[in-house]
A and B are shown apart, each in its own frame.
Chain A
Amino acid sequence: MELFAFTINRTPENWATALLAAVLVIFATSILLFGLSRIPSNMRRPLVGLFVFISGLFWILDWALPRSRVQEGATTSVKTLIPIYPYDYQEVINVLVNVSQVMSGIILALGVLSILRVHFKKVFKGDRDAFFSIVLLGSMAAMIVIGLWDWIATNREAVGMSTPEANETIHTAFSIVFLDMLQILDAAMFSLIAFFILSAAYRAFRVRSIEATIMMAVALIVLLGFIPLAMALTAGLPADGFLSNFRIENMKTWILLNMSTPALRAIDLGLGLGLLAMALRILLGIEKGVAVD
């Protein structure tokens, strides 16, 4: 576990340890993958089921094992003590999370390959939308090069091998492509939602049936309940007593608290139970889906 738990302080010893760890992991993974490829196909399903069960068990144990308050010098911390190395179960979980992140990183390469294959094919075939593919591939290449360059420059600055002044150009370039372009484009897409809400609401609230009429009336009350000018319409009603229930802001609050919230909570409860049921089916290997097939 020490091998995986080291912190890279950017010293030659730590880099050597990291390199050794990487070589060992690649070697072990290669052997594991070779072994898996040799397993008979009828054994694959039980094996995958076993892997899934063990993986799930790690998280169940994390939830079920007792916690301990531990004093170490002047500091106290909460740990999940286990009688075997590394003695704190949280460290096991940390290693699993790291492994999962490394695997995600490897899988990202598959995703990038998919993008390259789809768009290069469009470009070489002279597809009608090839121009957009060229823009995408160019943007992607620019972002990868500038992002990596900026990352290297930042790391060199961190160990005193360079200064921010010397890397000003690349930091500016990164700022332009990331902050001034990508984030702005994100915001532009997000802002489109306002118009889509309007068009969806127009269709949903058209008075075509009793349900649509009720929905429109309720939506109108809630909308007006948020607008000060609309609140002024019923401001003449008393603040206390029976008639205060008909003030538009009170009707809005009542609808949100007593109708909308319980309905959403009921859906959420159903989702939670459904997820638990499905997790159990996957753990026990009885789900006839993609998880174990």
Chain B
Amino acid sequence: MGEQQVLESFLQYGRYGWLLMLTTALVVAYLLVGIVLARKRSGAVTIRRIPGLDQIDEAVGRATETARPVLMVPGLSGALDGIAVQALTIFASIIRTAARFSTPIRLLNYHPAVYAVAQEIAKDVYQTEGVPDKYDVDSVRFVSDRQFAFAAAVAGTIQRDKVAAAFYMGDFYAESLIMAENANMVGAIQVAATTQFTQTPFFIAACDYVLLGDEFYAASAYLGREPVLLGSLVGADWAKLTFMAFAVVALVVHSIQASRPLTDQDRQRFEEYGTPVLPGQEYPQRNEYFFNWINRIPRG
């Protein structure tokens, strides 16, 4: 350690607050309990219908009828992260259906790591379905790792190949609408799911089906119906219920505290934050009360 001198040590919760650690631990515990219970009570967990995932067969079927390809885009993940993995899991299911009907596919990738894995998956799926000779090595392509060059290439593929179905799953940004509108021009059935919630409205406006929020992450459980995977969804639902309860408690505490008149000390503090308290502008600032209440709870 040399001439280093340790002045103080602190756990992460000392930095971010105990609430974050507690919440994370609670959510992880919910997920684990959900998984364990689902493993014990196999078949007891059901999952609601997700129309976007139910449309896979129909979309691929239409592509088969029209002899046009199915397009898949696993988003703009900067690496082979969880989002890209989830997207490829869904695409594996689509490729399986396409392989059964000998429907051509186009899987266009933004990141070379995602491309390498996607290619192996596609090859593996065709082999599993007993039709390895029908796998076209050029159907899974790396296109570009520049956002708009990628968008241009996807739009070009859509227009040239007149795709019959398009699936967009993963991280999408400004290029989402370029792709979706081009596919709409050629009359393709479109199913989208994005983890960038700012792009969700664009997909809703342009696509036929959109998986909202965590429906995207529920896809592997939905498609596989494995009890263990369904269990983690139950855990996530419990976590959501807890957050909802927490929001209600926060609402009550906030309302009670907001009914107190502002003191001079409060005003001084607000001004320190750079937000002067003016008549008629006091109410939104009182959100601070709730967080102060949390911060007053002793830590460690």
Contacts and interface: CB of A to CB of B under 8 A. Distances in A.
Contact of B214 (A185, A201, A271): A271
A274 B160 contact: no
A99 interface: no
Contacts of B202: 197, 200
B31 A280 contact: yes
A176 B233 CA distance: 52
A7 interface: no
B217 interface: yes
A274 B142 contact: no
A279 B82 contact: yes
Given A280-B32, A286-B229, A76 B7 contact: yes
Given A277-B232, A288-B229, A289-B220, A200 B10 contact: no
Interface string A87-124: 10000000000001001100111111011011001000
B8 A278 contact: no
Given A107-B113, A189-B178, A287 B220 contact: yes
A204 B203 CA distance: 11
B277 interface: no
B249 interface: no
Interface string B67-87: 000000000000100110110
Interface stretch (A25-33, A65-73, A228-236): A65-73
Given A87-B1, A114-B115, A288 B149 contact: no
B282 interface: no
Q: How large is the interface on A (under 10, 10 to 19, 20 to 34, 35 or more residues)?
A: 35 or more
A192 B82 CA distance: 30
Interface stretch (A39-47, A155-163, A167-175, A261-269): A261-269
Contacts of B146: 182, 186
Nearest to A281: B232
Given A264-B197, A288-B220, A280 B28 contact: yes
Interface string B109-138: 100110111000100100000000000011
Contacts of B117: 290
Nearest to A103: B113
A66 B113 contact: no
A269 B109 CA distance: 27
Interface of B: 1-12, 15, 27-28, 31-32, 35, 79, 82-83, 85-86, 88-89, 92, 109, 112-113, 115-117, 121, 124, 137-138, 141-143, 145-149, 151-152, 156, 160, 174-175, 177-178, 180-181, 184, 195, 197-198, 200, 202, 204-206, 212-214, 216-218, 220, 224, 226, 228-229, 232-233, 235-236, 239-240, 243, 280
Q: Which 9 A-B pairs have the closest CB atoms?
A: A274-B217, A274-B214, A111-B112, A289-B89, A111-B142, A270-B213, A189-B148, A270-B214, A204-B205
Interface of A: 63-73, 76, 81, 87, 100, 103-104, 107-112, 114-115, 117-118, 121, 129, 132, 182, 185-186, 189-190, 192-193, 196-197, 199-201, 203-204, 240, 264, 266-271, 273-282, 284, 286-291, 293
